[in-house]
Structure 1
Amino acid sequence: MTGNGPRPEAGTGEVADAVRGNWVDRLAPPVTRPYLRLSRADRPIGTWLLLLPCWWGLLLAMLSDGQARWLDLWIFAGCGIGAFLMRGAGCTWNDITDRHIDGSVARTASRPIPSGQVSVAGALAWLAAQALAAFCILLTFPAAAILLGVVALGPVAIYPFAKRFTWWPQIFLGIAFNWGALLAWTAHTGRLEWPAVVLYLAGIAWTLFYDTIYAQQDVEDDALIGVKSTARLFGVHTPAWLRRFLVASVALMSIAVILALRGGDPIAVLVALLGPWAFGLHLMWQLTRFEPESAQGLLRLFRSNRDSGLLPLPFFAVALLL
């Protein structure tokens, strides 16, 4: 194996790219730790990246019709619980399908299945438990949102195989990870509309941005074992492509805001537009610190996308109050 990523301490069961001293390693009962690591509970950034498009979609839907209902509080919380569960189920599925690949990559060899902490049968049982719990949450949403939630299982199931047949697996990740923008909008309004679709496309462009940064950590190992990624595809042109994804994401989110608030108060529209612009400034900051040879720096940039994804929310919330 090659690679210059972080290494866990031998014999602890810790995963290489987890935050040192995370709550799973410190506080979780030992018997649960391998399964929580399988769900990436020791690496919460993925839950944030799955959840934030949900909250974008919910707040933008509330802005669109100018209504905030008690049900929205449950949609807000239910998306949080569901994102945790579905991210865990998706990661479990990903690790089951990638168990042979993960053992050949320095950053992923310490994961629970390739390191022998969890059997495939145990992982499948854990996957079923998480998916069932998430489905119970989904059943509390309106019928159209339930249907969207069921359809979302398709992209989730396909994504782990994408890097075997396309140089653009990040598109499949974006399709799966931003589905919440469609679902949360529909949970509030009862129907799927164009602002949600455009917001969804903005999220896909964002995923291409942050997951290309993430994939940059593994380019050497991926080249050796034949795994495809946008980071490998773009090579030295990666910064230029990151700029394109940045522009696309900010532009599409801005269009989604304009469509959602069409005919609304101009001040509210301007305040809401400050959200995607602040989001874009954070992505620009990431670009200035992009160093493809620094695995630790790449991981920090990837994790910082929680902050960039949070930035539109206060502007949407303030616009809702105007």
Structure 2
Amino acid sequence: MSPSAPTMDTYFKLARLHLFPAGADLMYLPPCWGIAFAAHLTDIPLPTFFKYLGVFSLGISLFHAGMCVYNDIIDVEYDRQVERTKTRPLAAGIISIPHAWLVMAPFLLASAYLARLSNDLGSVEFYLGMFDFGFAFLYPFLKRWTYWPQAYLGIAANWGIWLVWPAIFGHIVWDVAAPLAVSACWTLIYDTMYGLQDAKDDAKAGVKSTALLFGKNVKPIISGFALRQTAFLAYAGMQAHCGLLFWIISIGGALAWHTKSVFTLKVDDMADCWKKFANYPVMGYIVLAGITLDAYCPL
């Protein structure tokens, strides 16, 4: 197949839409936690609550799709050296780089438009949200400079949290939003698991990651980040005055999921690393369910 004749399936693969919601859900779940926490602090009718979930999930999913295209553009030479990624549309030469830029643009423009709908154009919060575009555009270069690109991704991937509060309250509620932002620990955990798939090829290609940095100590180190993530989540729950269902479902579920995932992780098994990564959103939905049920059906 020539670069001039890509199929619709090729475009879906370029934007990772063939795997949807994998990847996108890991980005939109933390802001959804923020919306659910907000329901503890102010009266949000259930239809409005679900409207917020839908708008933010859609906007972040579009942003994720566009950034997947962008990352493939920047990483195309690296992707050609990695077994798992060498068949991606750009790496395989099915789509040209100029064509990929054109594919990327509508996703990011649509995402920015949805952010505009959620915030006043002149507000500080809107521009704070747009700042994430700059954050995200730098991300693929981090793996050339540092072994901590996953930590940087944790900031960029969870930045959508800051748009939740102005949409609901008109301002940021720092006591709840700040700990949620540090759910970057969560991102570092699942993306390290993702990076383990390519660790050997990445080392040969000169790509840096926490998967390589942590080495044989990867399981105890990400266990530490799992405890931190759960602690930050608990702090956010206390600040939002969450009740028993939050502690049983969200905190209990998070601890159980982290424990099972890390304990059973097979670091040298690509299929298991992908499975652990792909299943991590389940934990996010458990956390969301606990916060939501505690807000609307408290014990």
Alignment TM-score, normalising by the size of structure 2: 0.91
> Is 1:103–1:114's contact at 8 Å kept on the other side of the alignment?
yes
Instruction: Report the CA distance shift for 1:276/1:180 in structure 2 as closer, same or farther (over 3 A).
Output: farther
Determine if the alignment matches structure 1 residue 288 to structure 2 residue 263.
yes
Give the Å deviation of 1:271: 2.0
Equivalent residue number for residue 37 of structure 1: 13
> 2:226 touches 2:258 (CA, 8 Å); kept in 1?
yes
Alignment deviations for residues 121-151 of structure 1 (CA, whole Å, 9 cap, x no partner): 1110111111111122112112244223211
Equivalent residue for 1:229, pick from 201, 204, 209: 209
Q: Figure out how many residues of one structure are paired with residues of the other and give that number.
A: 288
* Superposition CA RMSD, Å: 1.7
Distance 1:134 1:53 in 2: 17
1:255 pairs with one of 212, 216, 235: 235
Q: 1:270 aligns with which of 244, 249, 264?
A: 244
5+ residue gaps in structure 1?
Answer: 1-10, 12-29, 262-267
Secondary structure at 1:140 match in 2: helix
Determine the C-alpha separation between the residues in 2 that align with 1:97 and 1:115.
Answer: 14
- The 8 Å contact of residues 129 and 162 in structure 2, kept in 1 or not, is answered as no
Q: CA deviation at 1:153?
A: 0.7
Correspondence for 1:196: 177
Instruction: Give the deviation of 1:226 after TM superposition.
Output: 1.1
The letter of the residue matching 1:126 is V
Task: Kindly indicate whether the alpha-carbon contact (under 8 Å) linking 1:57 and 1:180 is maintained by their aligned counterparts in 2.
Answer: no
Report the equivalent of 1:100. Answer: 77
1:154 pairs with 2:154: no
CA distance in 2, matches of 1:190, 1:276: 28
2:273 aligns to what? 298
What is residue 145 of structure 2 aligned with on the other side? 165
CA–CA distance in structure 2, aligned partners of residues 246 and 214 of structure 1: 16
Q: Tell me, which stretches of 5 or more residues in structure 2 are unaligned?
A: none
Structure 2 distance, partners of 1:215, 1:69, is: 38
- Residues 126-165 of structure 1: pairs in structure 2 closer than 5 A: 126-143=103-120, 144=123, 145-165=125-145
Alignment match, 1:308? 283
- Aligned 8 A contact 2:146 2:208 in 1: yes
- Give how far 1:152 is off: 1.1
User: Aligned partners of 1:155 and 1:273: how far apart in 2?
Assistant: 33
Indicate the SS of the match to 2:198.
Answer: helix
Q: Is the 8 A contact 1:55 1:76 kept in 2?
A: yes
DSSP 3-state at the match of 1:311: helix
Shift, 1:66, TM fit:
4.0
Cα deviation digits, residues 206-252 of structure 1 (max 9, x gap) = 01111111111111111111111001001101011111110000000
| Distance change in 2, residues 1:149/1:71 (3 Å) | farther
Tell me if the contact between 2:219 and 2:263 (Cα under 8 Å) persists in the aligned partners: no
Following superposition, the deviation at residue 46 of structure 1 comes to: 0.5
- Partner of 2:7, secondary structure, is helix
Identical columns (%): 30
